[in-house]
Amino acid sequence: MPATHRSRRRAWYLALFTKSRPARYRSRSTVKHDVMEAGIIGVPYIGKTTVFNALTALGVSGEASANKPNMGVVHVPDPRLSVILQFIETKKVVPASWQLVDVAGLVAGASEGQGMGNKFLGNVRNVDALLHVVRCFEDANVPHVDGSIDPVRDIEQVETELMLSDLEVVENSISNAKRRARTGDKEARLRLELMEQCEVALGEGNPLSTLELDAEREKLLRSFAMLTVKPVLYVANVGEDDLAGDNAHARTMAEFLSSRGGQVVPICAKLEAELAELEGPEHDEMLEAMGLTEPALAVIARAAYHRLGLQSFFTAGPKEIKAWTVPIGATGPQAAGVIHSDFERGFIRVEVYAVDDLQQYKTEQAIKAAGKLRVEGKEYVMHDGDVCHFLFNV
């Protein structure tokens, strides 16, 4: 990259710290598969890998994420699975899952190759959502990379690097689109128009999630895997003496994000990681000692689903009881397609009932006899907690 170009980008980077962030953030849910992918981001040494350990119970070291991403599958707690299991015998129960990616800390200049730089950013370009971990605890034994605890500064530093990285993609795309647009390529002209719109937004310090786009341009923007389009859930990593997140740092963070529609979940990653290593009575005893009714995973899972506009439906039979993830508003055929593409293509109808119906009537036969088993067609819009039997022909 030419020195003049780097200087211009760095001047833009520095200027962003003096301006306020936009208040509008829109969630564009693009999850079309049964496993959601989320990337854990943040500045170095703020507890990202500890949060990863708490969510996955893998117990990886902090040093591992400095060299390559830690990858783990997170099973989403859902008490409705246990309810179904009470009334339907099966060989196994399969909860909904996340694929979680823990990457190296993001330092200033990462978009230009500082630290893990573009390698870090590449690791999270294709995830569905970001978990942005922010340090909100004081500990003299754990120094902060910037010398002090300042949640707002840390958030802005990460967001700035994400925008700079997107800006580089935009600038390269504009150059390519201009060449193709000269030949009369209509798609290239549309891409050029969209990228120039993105360049203006990023140049003003606005993430691309603030753009108001029609369906065609929104679909095109998704194809670029831009970082600042992704939904973000903020995690305030608090101390052991402040599990509710009432300290000054956590309050400052919540106040800063509230005007922008940012959602914050406070957790003590250290204690949650220890809790994740326990099972049975020991797990329950520690949870009670912490004054909590459920681990952080359940709280974060609900918040992430809400942020992404997701919901779960279930299939249940003698082989397995399984939770599946679909966007809110998905139709019956689209839900069937999450299980297998053939199911969507050959969809005929779906037989549906609610978990509450199973609890009340005990068997599927009794549900049907009571008139609670619904037969729905291709226009049916799925509800959270539907128990489904899909009928298809291929």
List pLDDT tens digits, range 322-336: 999 999 999 999 999
50 in a structural domain: no
Segments in 259-371 forming alpha helices (H): 269-276, 280-289, 296-308, 332-339, 341-345, 355-361, 364-369
Angle at 150 between CA 50 and CA 256, to 5 degrees: 100
Residue 307 confidence (pLDDT): 84
Report DSSP state, residue 221. Answer: H
- Minimum mean pLDDT among 149-153, 182-186, 223-227: which range? 182-186
Residue 24 confidence (pLDDT): 44
For the ranges 269-273, 292-296, 385-389, the one whose mean pLDDT is highest: 385-389
What's the mean per-residue pLDDT of the chain?
85
List pLDDT tens digits, range 302-313: 888 888 889 999
Distance CA 108, CA 228 (A): 17
Distance CA 125, CA 123 (A): 6
3-state secondary structure of 70: strand
Residue 19 confidence (pLDDT): 47
* Lookup result for tokens 């509710």: 244
Residue 56 confidence (pLDDT): 84
| pLDDT (average), residues 82-88 | 97
198 in a structural domain: no
pLDDT of 22 above 60? no
Distance CA 280, CA 291 (A): 17
371 in a structural domain: yes
Distance CA 21, CA 163 (A): 12
| pLDDT (average), residues 149-155 | 94
| pLDDT (average), residues 41-57 | 87
336 in a structural domain: yes
**Higher pLDDT, residue 317 or 144:** 317
Write out the two tokens for 185. Answer: 């390529």
Lay out the sheet containing 70-75: strands in order across. Answer: 70-75, 97-102, 35-41, 129-135, 232-237, 263-267
pLDDT of 33 above 60? no
344: containing domain: 329-392
CATH of the domain at 356: 3.10.20.30
- Minimum mean pLDDT among 31-35, 72-76, 357-361: which range? 31-35
127 in a structural domain: no
pLDDT of 76 above 90? no
pLDDT of 17 above 80? no
Q: Model's pTM, two decimal places? A: 0.82
| Count of domains for the chain | 1
List pLDDT tens digits, range 193-236: 999 999 999 999 999 999 999 999 999 999 999 999 999 999 99
List pLDDT tens digits, range 364-375: 999 999 999 999
Residue 84 confidence (pLDDT): 98
pLDDT of 4 above 50? no
Residue 304 confidence (pLDDT): 85
359 in a structural domain: yes
56 in a structural domain: no
| pLDDT (average), residues 171-196 | 88
Residue 34 confidence (pLDDT): 56
Residue 314 confidence (pLDDT): 98
Q: Name 229's Cβ contacts closer than 8 Å, sequence gap at least 6.
A: 28, 207, 208, 209, 221, 222
Cβ density class 25-57: b for 16+ within 10 Å, e for less: bebbbbbeebebbbbbbbbbebbbbbbbbbbbb
Report DSSP state, residue 114. Answer: S
359: left (phi over 0), alpha (psi -120 to 50) or beta: alpha
360 in a structural domain: yes
Q: Are strands 374-376 and 347-354 parallel, antiparallel or unpaired?
A: antiparallel
pLDDT of 27 above 90? no
